[in-house]
Structure 1
């Protein structure tokens, strides 16, 4: 047994060249090396495999029976090695590989439209989208379980870099008969005296902080309204109960609720970012960022 020995790719390449050229000198010319190097490496390969690959004579070199059997195997190994190098090069270029991406639901399934654009420019790049709660998404990026994750309204995340990728408007829901519904667009200052229904911070800390910070920056402190329950129930209560308002972002289209008016908010906007580890992004993430930069009009 030839324990501790290994077959090298160059030995297989020399073996195939000799077989295809019908001699060591012509193989050496093809490989642009000296004939002695070809002969030496083929001899080593024969020792390592434990079988003769060629029947040698002074006039010609031809494959042995073992050589005939092993030639297609050697070609297959070399082809596999070539494919491996090519795939590695494509991975480095961001055209191949696996992108493990934490996602959020967005207007019109925006992220899936982006991924369709990505598939058009990098058809061999496999994207594995995962939906996880925010903290789990961030933790998975830190641990390397995810390559990147989309996050909303987040201004910072320890140990991660946030790359803004798009913004969305915020909307206000208020009673349809309220005087403010006469405006095509509202400002936070317009809503200063109207009770605000805002979900508890633990339900969505980044969004809660975005709203409260924006109110503070606008110099208002709306009185707290009745508790925010579910989105649909809260909208129904706004239409049926005492005047109040809530603020939200579009996910699956703007709702249509009886006796409720929806108006866009002038500011702030909702920023969606991509959370990644600090430093240059991996090729697959870089490819996704390039697609996002090229097709903003198609994903808004």
Structure 2
């Protein structure tokens, strides 16, 4: 029994006319008649009563009809399932990233690889303004951003909060403590990125210092992780801040020490910027992975 025989049988059963069935199937009538006869011989029963004026289903044909429909329906469902799978395998998620995500990004990608292996993630690094613009224009599907609580024409979905940690010379007396109070750093110059590079971080740290009772003394600016850590570890005493998840990726250093702050700890909220009408099938695995990372 072949699937095409079932299709021919179903067409004749619905049209009750071999000629119209052939037209519907876009083949010649003798082929339809021939294949239906072969099906009847295989089943050992006549499926149609044929006269010169009419074609009707026999009792066997009526009994066979729902089974033929079920088989062809199963074939259609299987074909559609495979088409969906092919489409899923071709899903590419274009994700904007920024410096400092550290272990957060690695864990999100690991979770997505385990639970949504059909999604291929393309990472695009750019400054915050560029990331938001690319999401708005549809060049990126989503982008991580910190601090900005609103952006025109975009939805900012909160995903996690990162505490800041202090990095200071390993030979400084404060490095002997398990945690560091911001007020104890008042006399030491702060290395931080220029305000135009990351205004939210600069304002957050400056406000936290003021709340702790002092105006931070600004030292040389934060440049790269490598250069800044080297300068802190070997030069005159200075300090800086890292996102905690970023600090976890730093290589073990003998000249610098990473210490958490004593409460109140400065924290930064990270958001996922998406278009309001973004396709959920592409973003759902990413959002699920971000929620799993927030839960720890």
Which range, TM-score by smaller chain? 0.5 to 0.7
Match of 1:72 in 2: none
Cα 1:35–1:252 change in 2 (3 A) is farther
Greater CA drift, 137-146 or 199-208:
199-208
**CA 96–181 in structure 1, closer or farther in 2 if over 3 Å, else same:** same
**Equivalent position of 1:62 in the other structure:** 34
Partner of 1:71: none
Supply the RMSD in Å over aligned alpha carbons.
Answer: 3.9
Q: TM-score, normalised by structure 2?
A: 0.67
The aligned residue for residue 264 of structure 1 is 260
Q: State the 1:248 CA deviation.
A: 1.9
- The answer for the alignment partner of 1:9 in structure 2 is none
Partner of 1:210: 204
Indicate conservation of the 8 Å contact 1:95/1:284, yes or no: no
Q: Match of 1:43?
A: 23
SS at match of 1:151: strand
Q: CA deviation at 1:149?
A: 1.2
The total of aligned residue pairs comes to 254
Task: Give 3-state SS (helix, strand or coil) of 1:159's partner.
Answer: coil
Following TM superposition, the consecutive aligned residue runs of length 4 or more in structure 1 with deviations greater than 6 angstroms are: 79-82
Give the CA deviation at 1:61: 0.8
SS in 2 for 1:262: strand
State the 1:195 CA deviation: 2.2
Match of 1:152 among 146, 149, 153: 146
Residue 253 of structure 1: CA displacement? 2.2
TM-score w.r.t. the length of structure 1 is: 0.66
Q: Secondary structure at the match of 1:173?
A: strand
Of 157-166 and 79-88, deviating more is 79-88
- Structure 2 residue runs of 5 or longer lacking an equivalent are 36-74
**1:124 alignment partner in structure 2:** 118
1:131 deviates by: 2.7
**1:214–1:268: 8 Å Cα contact kept in structure 2?**
yes
Counterpart in the other structure of 2:216: 222
1:164 aligns with 2:149: no
- The Cα shift of 1:152 comes to 3.4
Contact 1:105/1:251, CA 8 A, preserved across alignment: no
